Amino acid sequence: MSVKGGTVVLAYSGGLDTSCILVWLREQGLQVVAYLADLGQDEDFEEAKKKATKLGAKEVVVADQRRELVEDFVWPAVSADLIYEDRYLLGTALARPCIVSGLVRVATRVGAGYIAHGATGKGNDQIRFELGCSALCPALKIISPWKDPAFYERFPGRQELFEYARKNDIPLPVTPKSPWSIDANLIHISYESGVLENPSTHPPEGIFQLTTDPEKAPDTPQRLTLSFTTGVPTSVSVEGEGTQVTDPLEILLTCNRIGAKHGVGRIDMVENRFVGLKSRGLSETPGLTILRAAHLDLEALCLDREVRKMKTYISTRMAEQVYNGLWFSPEFEFARSCIKTCQKVVTGSVTLKVYKGNVYVLGREAPVSLYNQELVSMDVQGNYDPSDAKGFIRINALRLTEHQRLKQEMESAS
């Protein structure tokens, strides 16, 4: 790496890797501003701030981005029903552009010429950080030590990092490191690497930190009602608690609490990374699982059939874009505008029941919807003439009969 001094904003976690990177960046002649994003993870931010200061950071920024994460990233994901490869609710991928936004704001304020991160060269996060920074502030240069030979050849393994930490008075972990890596925020906790890299290995007992084992969850189900306005969650009421929660951050935290208690939101999957590798990971995402189930059900009541089909296609593409670090791309902006248009009619409420790892929809209502009870009733004819169905069926049968004719002619010719 060749730099000529200046200031770098480092995405700092307080762990061994980014602490060593902080010291290494100072060795390269850079002034380091350490940036810690509070996204709701269980972290001692004051301790991490003291650690970064002790290691020579000229400034340490601890930014509370929890509300920003919910309102600017989670809520759009709920409106679009984002899910990657049918199961992953993008807990890490949604957090990364939020962190990038914070990094760029600080870099702009302090006049930094660089942004640095500790993501590895095999994962998705390197792409998410660097594409995001390139989109929001192209003038910023990226320092990615784990892709820099000057760094990774000096530190080919954990032992070399430990030795470097000892020489530079970098505090080492006082507790044994889990045999897997963990990413946590208020959306989810995910686990990968280590013993989990073998896809046939069963999740170790006690690995899940957020949710109750569904087999040990309460034997009594719990009901809650979620309300939406133009596709965005606006309130949640939990049966028996007597209050209606309307604050966006508290809505997600309430859904997390109820879902976690009842073992909702656990998955174990092999996913396709953007770089072309397959990766096995576990995650627990209780609140977003509940919110998505409610929103999908309300859409079925409110959205036109063909619009819903197109929206499903767009949603799949959007999930891929978020996973691949393209939150700030023109295609994602276009897709969001499409979603915003179709969500104008998605207003109403859904009542659900959570029980031993599952979410069950009990009922839904909307002030304006496409559901016409009189029209669909078997007891009332309404504005529908059953004899019209004869021609409808004949027209749709034409394609099928022609297909059979073709098959018979082909069989006769052979």
| Cα distances (angstroms) measured from residue 157 to each of 152, 160, 221, 237 | 8, 6, 48, 50
363 contacts 355 by C-beta, under 8 angstroms: no
Confidence of residue 213 (pLDDT cuts 50, 70, 90): very high
Q: Name the more confident of 103 and 174.
A: 103
Q: Which of 159-168, 257-266, 325-334 has the lowest mean pLDDT?
A: 159-168
Q: Please name the residue ranges forming H helices in 286-349.
A: 286-302, 305-323, 330-342
DSSP letter string, 297-310:
HHHHHHS-HHHHHH
pLDDT band at 5 (very low <50, low <70, confident <90, very high): confident
Largest pairwise CA distance in the chain: 87
Q: For the beta carbon of residue 276, count every other beta carbon within 10 angstroms.
A: 7
Q: For the segment 304-349, what is each residue's pLDDT rounded down to a tens digit? A: 999 999 999 999 999 999 999 999 999 999 999 999 999 999 999 9
396-405: pLDDT as tens digits: 999 999 999 9
Any long-range contacts for 157-163 (C-beta under 8 Å, 24+ apart)?
161/16, 161/17, 161/20, 162/16
Per-residue confidence (pLDDT) for residue 175, from 0 to 100: 57
> What are the sequence ranges of the domains in the chain?
7-177, 182-303+345-365, 375-413
pLDDT in the model for residue 375: 76
Give the catalytic positions in this structure.
17, 96, 125, 181
- The answer to whether domain 7-177 and domain 182-303+345-365 are alike in fold is no
Structure tokens that stand for 37 in this block:
């994003």
User: What's the pLDDT score for residue 358?
Assistant: 98
Question: For 182-303+345-365, which CATH superfamily applies?
Answer: Argininosuccinate synthetase, chain A, domain 2 (3.90.1260.10)
Q: CATH fold of 7-177, please?
A: Rossmann fold (3.40.50)
Report pLDDT for 176: 60
At 124, give phi and psi (nearest 5°): -85, -30
Tell me what pLDDT residue 174 has: 58
Q: Which of 53-57, 101-105, 215-219, 381-385 has the lowest mean pLDDT?
A: 381-385
**Looking at residues 151-176, what average pLDDT do you find?**
87
Q: Tell me the percentage of the chain whose pLDDT exceeds 90.
A: 90
pLDDT in the model for residue 372? 85
pLDDT score for 384: 79
Alpha carbons 96 and 330: distance in angstroms, whole number: 18
At residue 204, the pLDDT reads 94
State pLDDT tens for residues 268-308.
999 999 999 999 999 999 999 999 999 999 999 999 999 99
CA–CA distance, 386 with 203 (Å, rounded to integer): 55
H or E element at residue 161: helix 158-167
Measured CA to CA in angstroms, residue 126 lies from 105, 152, 323, 345 at distances of: 19, 15, 12, 38
Rg (CA), the chain: 26
**Tokens 């970064």 belong to which residue?**
52
pLDDT at 1 over 80: no
- Asked if pLDDT for residue 382 goes beyond 80, the answer is no
pLDDT at 378 over 80: no
Residues 6+ apart with CB under 8 A from 346: 79, 228, 230, 231, 295, 298, 299, 302, 303
pLDDT surpassing 60 at residue 150: yes
pLDDT (average), residues 343-365: 98
Q: What is the mean pLDDT of residues 152-176?
A: 86
Residue that is written with structure tokens 């700030």 in the block: 328
Taking phi first (over 0 means left), then psi (-120 to 50 degrees means alpha), and beta for anything else, what does residue 123 get?
A: beta
pLDDT, tens digit, for every residue of 53-112? 999 999 999 999 999 999 999 999 999 999 999 999 999 999 999 999 999 999 999 999
Residue type, 217: A
**What pTM, to 2 d.p., does this model score?**
0.93
